Amino acid sequence: MSIRSLCFLIITCLMTTLANAQPGIDWTQTFGREGTEECKAMIQTEDGGFALAGRSDSFGMGRSAFYLVKTNERGEERWSRTYGDERDAICSDIIQTDDGGYVLAGTKGLGTEEMCFRVIRTDGFGEVLWSGEYDLGSTCNCLSICQSNNDGFLLAGWTNGFGEANLDAVVLKISVNGDSLWSRTWDGEEMDYFSNVERTSDGGYLLVGATGSFRGDILSGYAVKLNSEFEEEQSNTFVHNPYNSFNSCIEISRGGYVFAGSTGDHVEDIYDCLLIRTDLESDMSWRREFGGGETDIGLSITETNDRCYLLAGESNSYSGLDNSDIYLVKCDDSGREVWSGTYGGEGYEGSPSVVQLENGCFVMAGTTESFGEGNRDMWLVKTGPDPLLIQGRNEPASPDKYNILSAHPNPFNLQTTISFTLPIASQVSLTVHNDLGQSVATLVNGMSLSGKNEIVWDAKGISAGTYFIRLGDGNGIIGGQRIVLQK
């Protein structure tokens, strides 16, 4: 990592931490050599360390191969393995099995008509126990895997080998030894695919992705619920803009599901991160979009220790450069933004997976061009604890204590109304900062009344751009919000 890149990362994270209350960085690690490595999935392992999975072309084969890196709890590499041959391959997902080993799922034959599902099962040290290749049509792509209730595995992705559509959503069931048992396709008239499969608490399975087969030329977010016998129980489509897709799903502790993805206009090629809470029976409980004037994509969703949600993705709107940064947004149970921030350097950073540790810190893994040895490397980052957890207690700063900032409209032209709620009358400060961390306006500096407070910021004379509003009290920052001024 160059001195210039390191300084850029430190300054960027310090600036956005002050302005937006995102967690700071504790440590980072990169994995790779002179070629290209990409991280597509990361899990916390049973020993407290981490396993990163993706692809590499740096290890002498001349082709892209499955790449697995195992670290300790400090992100220090314990061992790594590559699994490849004469055809390019990429690992898209990883799970740890009850025996401490791993199952890697992805695609082999990239860019050819022989693309097929590929699965590798290893022991706890990455040594191969068995591997399988599964041809489900002329080309097919595996994007996700979960362990099934009877010790086999369920894989999800797409194929264009069945039906009349270019892409059909597909699931494949294999045994614990890798034998192909059955497959099923959802072969609508247009493009359909699954990007994520998860087990649910009732013994069933949840699949999410996108479909173009229900609303003409509109791509809808798509969710299918299977029971424990793999029979379809429910399905629903979700549409708002011409383009909507889901990349990740979780079942939440309060009941129901939260999906993460992207929404926008494929003609203008501008997208926002999309977050939806639903019970599948109705359309949705709420829908939220996050992003700015460029393309922002939601890739994964996690329920946090305080029963809120952490959306992870890629942002071009807030990176400050031509390339994307890793983008984190924490939301409360109503989908309202609590804090957000970006992590990156001068190049591309993206494809994040995130877990939260018991101490409230986050660990995220993705791909970096800014740091490391090669063209791209795997990037593992540990942050400090969630800044908006109450000190000494693992619970959120809920509205009966204070309400995190909101601004409407946002983006805005000239004026926006900033609101916050206090449980009791308090001394607070409300300031606006530019993307260098410099204060450009002080809106409140003194006593504010209990209940809801609203302040109109007139940005006349202020240049268009991204700004950050910060709410503080005598103990530090208690809320932050990014706003975009357009003129």
Instruction: Please give the average pLDDT of every successive group of 10 residues along the chain, which has 487 residues.
Output: 45 39 90 94 96 91 91 97 93 95 96 93 98 90 92 94 70 97 89 95 95 82 95 89 91 93 83 93 83 93 92 90 89 89 93 92 96 93 79 40 69 88 78 83 84 88 86 70 82
Six token digits for residue 312: 């992870």
Do 415 and 432 form a contact (C-beta atoms < 8 A)? no
Which strands form 192-199's sheet, in the order they lie side by side?
A: 192-199, 205-211, 220-226, 232-238
N-to-C CA span, the chain = 38
Order across the sheet with 426-433: list the strands.
439-448, 426-433, 465-473, 476-485
CB 142 within 8 A of CB 153: no
The secondary structure of residue 475, as a DSSP letter, is T
C-alpha dihedral (358, 153, 313, 4), degrees to nearest 10: 80
Nearest in space to 277 (alpha carbons), one of 215, 332, 207: 332
Give the rounded distance of the alpha carbon of 49 from its chain centre: 20
Q: Which domains does the chain have, with CATH numbers?
A: 3-385 (2.130.10.10), 403-485 (2.60.40.1930)
Partners of 207 in the beta sheet? 197, 224
| Burial of 323 from C-beta contacts in 10 A (0-12 / 13-18 / 19+) | middle
CB-neighbour burial class of residue 471 (10 A; exposed 0-12, middle 13-18, buried 19+) = buried
Say which amino acid occupies 123. D
What are 415-465's pLDDT values in tens digits? 999 988 877 667 788 999 887 778 899 999 887 776 788 899 999 889 988
Q: Record the tokens describing residue 201, joined without a space.
A: 């608490």
HSE-CB of 5 using CA atoms within 13 angstroms: 16
CA distance 449 to 45: 48
Please state, in angstroms and rounded to a whole number, the distance separating the CA atoms of residues 327 and 421: 27
Helix (H, G, I), strand (E, B) or coil at 480: strand
Predicted confidence (pLDDT) per residue in 272-319, tens digit:
999 999 998 766 789 999 998 899 999 999 999 888 999 999 999 987
CB 256 within 8 A of CB 239: no
In this prediction, residue 449 carries a pLDDT of 75
Nearest to 402 by CA among 341, 306, 334, 472: 472
* Residues with Cβ within 8 Å of residue 21, at least 6 apart in sequence: 339, 387, 388, 470, 477, 479, 480
Residue 32 dihedral angles phi and psi, to the nearest 5°: 150, 175
Buried b (16+ CB within 10 A) or exposed e, 280-316: beeebeebbbbbbebbbbbbbbbbbbbebbbbbbbbb
Three-state DSSP string of 110-124:
CCCCCCEEEEEEECC
The per-residue pLDDT for 189 is 80
Q: Residue 463 gets which letter from DSSP? A: P
- Entry pTM: 0.77
